[in-house]
Amino acid sequence: MQLHLNAQSKFPPVDKSPLDFSYYPVNYPILRIQEKAKEPLMARVTYSRPQKNGRKVFGELVEYGSIWRLGANEATEIELYRDAKIGSARVKKGRYTLYAIPTTDKWTIILNKDTDVWGAFLYDPKKDVVRMEVPVQHNTDALECFSMYFDKTNGNVSLFIGWDTEMVRVPISFF
């Protein structure tokens, strides 16, 4: 029996804000497959990457003082494979939603227990695990796509979050 489908009507179009992952250690899946991983997987961020597309991002597209899902589509999630300290808060290993409340000079970074949510429409502050403020770094070069990456410098791990001309650094240490 031959199956005839109209592929255009069954498959969704390519998303304008593609899904991406960031790992710590950086490039962990590739290192693991190459048998070059020196550390176990400690964290993974799953997020969508909207693009600037000539828009003013902060203060317009992303409103200052309002809860933001850190990207587009589903709320960004971080999975910790070990207990960690984020800012000054101890956090048990597990999966959390990451939000931010940006202002011009600082962002409030939030880890929340409610996962698998779309946007920040159902955000419940009673489920917050961490709230911390981090200073904004303003750059002269604009970053077209919303981006997140882990970096280890001087023995400390940081999650860098940036878009347009703004970037923040979230300190993380693992136990």
Distance between CA atoms of residues 107 and 173, nearest Å: 20
Are 119 and 75 within 8 A, CB to CB?
A: yes
- Average pLDDT of the chain is 92
The answer to the question of residue 99 being in a domain is yes
The answer to the question of residue 38 being in a domain is yes
The answer to the question of residue 3 being in a domain is no
The answer to the question of residue 6 being in a domain is no
The answer to the question of residue 127 being in a domain is yes
Please write the tens of the pLDDT for every residue from 6-24: 656 678 888 889 999 999 9
**Domain range holding 121?**
17-174
Strands (E), the chain: 19-24, 43-48, 77-80, 84-86, 89-91, 94-102, 106-112, 128-135, 137-153, 156-174
pLDDT at 12: 82
Please write the tens of the pLDDT for every residue from 22-69: 999 999 888 888 988 888 999 999 999 999 999 999 999 999 999 999
The answer to the question of residue 2 being in a domain is no
pLDDT at 31: 85
Please write the tens of the pLDDT for every residue from 126-164: 999 999 999 999 999 999 999 999 999 887 899 999 999
Please write the tens of the pLDDT for every residue from 85-104: 998 999 999 999 999 999 99
> Longest C-alpha distance within the chain, in Å?
63
Cis? peptide before 12, omega within 30° of 0: no
The answer to the question of residue 115 being in a domain is yes
> What pTM value is reported for the model?
0.90
The answer to the question of residue 24 being in a domain is yes
Domains contained in the chain, number: 1
